[in-house]
Amino acid sequence: MKIPVFKTKDLDVTQSFDLKNPEERKVYFEAKAGLEIKKIEEFLKNNTFVAYLMGKKGSGKGTRAKMFKEILGEDKVAHISVGDLVRSVHKALETKEGKKELIEYLKKDYRGYISVEEGIDAILGRSQDKVSVPDELILSLLKREIDKHDRKALFIDGFPRTLDQISYSLYFRTLIGYRDDPDFFVIVDVPEAVIGARIKDRVVCPKCFTPRGLSLMPTESVGYDKEEKKFFLRCGSESCNGERMREKEGEVGIEKIKDRLEADGALIEKAFSLHGVPKILLRNSVALNEVKEMVDEYEVTLEFYYENKDGKVVKKTRQWVTKDDEGVESVSLLPEPGVLSMIKQIADLI
């Protein structure tokens, strides 16, 4: 499967934008996709959609969904991450009230071949028989989360995760009571070299779970830890008050997730060949010889590095060139042009 590059260079838009600045990012989307955004806004007044985010681990699916939500509004769009759901189960089980509420819900809603207690043990990783978390339990947790987002367009991140779950996803819209609104796959294509670099220094906010990267996708605020002698990021969300971002729990190097990447690739191929479900295709990399024609310079990912001068962190950038999965020297794109492509494709679809 070869996903084509979506051209985001617009000769009618000559302004340059700082895509890290929320206000300039808003103007960027309005300038390049204003008509499509208005069309989607009108659609969401009386309709919804269900979008299944698919991509290899570390491909930035959640970042794109959260940015789409930022553009169209939290009152109209919700992003549901299965990974965050599982982590929320761990947190709920820390208190008697949370544990009681969760178990009562599952006993009422869950239908499966192992007990609720065994399913929770599987989620917590304490099953002696190494029982995997059943699909039916994940479905139940998803339905519980969806109930919190009444009549919103949904981006579901992390489901389907296996070939068997593909069939579940096709009927998910009906199961949650949606009308005849569209559902589709959003397939994000990112070279493994880029994924490896992202995983290497990826951090998340412990409050809002927003992912960032020290060298490839930093926040505005960067600090220096004198004791650990290393730089760190602070979350840029106003509600998080500059929370220090941490390494993602369970994160590992790319060599240790090769099997996962292969499984993700097989899942994407399966979804790509499926008839009857539209596909939104997002390609992250652009060959060096196509960059000037296809994208604007400010849409390209730069590599960041830092210096500590007299207690002040100085942020610097340089061009970052890597290879795509076919071995072609390429540049990686920032999330914004990918979201721009997604907006235009969704507008065409609805």
Q: What is the mean pLDDT of the chain?
A: 86
Query: Token pair for residue 336?
Result: 């914004």
Res. 173 pLDDT band, cuts 50 70 90: low
The domains located in the chain, with CATH, are 27-76+152-349 (3.40.50)
Res. 57 pLDDT band, cuts 50 70 90: confident
Res. 251 pLDDT band, cuts 50 70 90: low
205, 243 Cβ separation under 8 angstroms: yes
pLDDT at 250: 57
Asked which of 10-14, 141-145, 177-181, 330-334 is least confident by mean pLDDT, the reply is: 177-181
Average pLDDT over residues 104-126: 83
Ranges 53-62, 192-201, 268-277, 287-296, most confident: 287-296
pLDDT at 1: 64
Average pLDDT over residues 136-141: 84
Intra-chain end-to-end CA distance of the chain, in Å: 25
In the chain, count H helices and then E strands. 12, 15
- The 3-state DSSP class for residue 11 equals coil
pLDDT higher for 265 or 168? 265
Report H helices in 125-223: 135-146, 163-170, 172-175, 192-201
Average pLDDT over residues 285-302: 94
pLDDT at 12 over 60: yes
pLDDT at 130 over 70: no
Question: How far is 155 from 114, CA to CA, in rounded Å?
Answer: 29
Question: How far is 85 from 107, CA to CA, in rounded Å?
Answer: 18
pLDDT at 270: 80
81, 209 Cβ separation under 8 angstroms: yes
Tell me the pTM: 0.81
Question: Does residue 18 come out as left (phi exceeding 0), alpha (psi in the -120 to 50 range) or beta?
Answer: beta
pLDDT at 281 over 60: yes
Question: How far is 267 from 341, CA to CA, in rounded Å?
Answer: 22
Question: How far is 76 from 64, CA to CA, in rounded Å?
Answer: 16
pLDDT at 177: 58
Pairing of strands 153-157, 50-55: parallel
- Cβ atoms within 10 Å, residue 35: 11
3-state percent breakdown (helix, strand, coil) of the chain, nearest 5: 45, 20, 35
Cβ neighbours of residue 79 under 8 Å, at least 6 residues apart? 62, 65, 66, 69, 154, 155, 157
pLDDT higher for 250 or 50? 50
Query: Token pair for residue 161?
Result: 């995760």
pLDDT at 172 over 80: no
DSSP string, 46-114: T---EEEEEE-TTS-HHHHHHHHHHHH-TTTEEEEEHHHHHHHHHHHTTSHHHHHHHHHHHHHH---SS
Asked which of 20-29, 43-52, 103-112, 253-262 is least confident by mean pLDDT, the reply is: 253-262
Average pLDDT over residues 93-101: 88
State which H helix or E strand residue 260 sits in: helix 258-272
Cβ neighbours of residue 290 under 8 Å, at least 6 residues apart? 5
From the centroid of its chain, how far is CA 256? 21
pLDDT at 247 over 90: no
| % of the chain exceeding 70 in pLDDT | 90
Asked which of 49-53, 265-269, 282-286, 292-296 is least confident by mean pLDDT, the reply is: 265-269
- The 3-state DSSP class for residue 247 equals strand
pLDDT at 271 over 90: no
pLDDT at 133 over 80: no
Express each pLDDT in 158-167 by its tens digit. Answer: 877 766 666 6
253, 337 Cβ separation under 8 angstroms: no
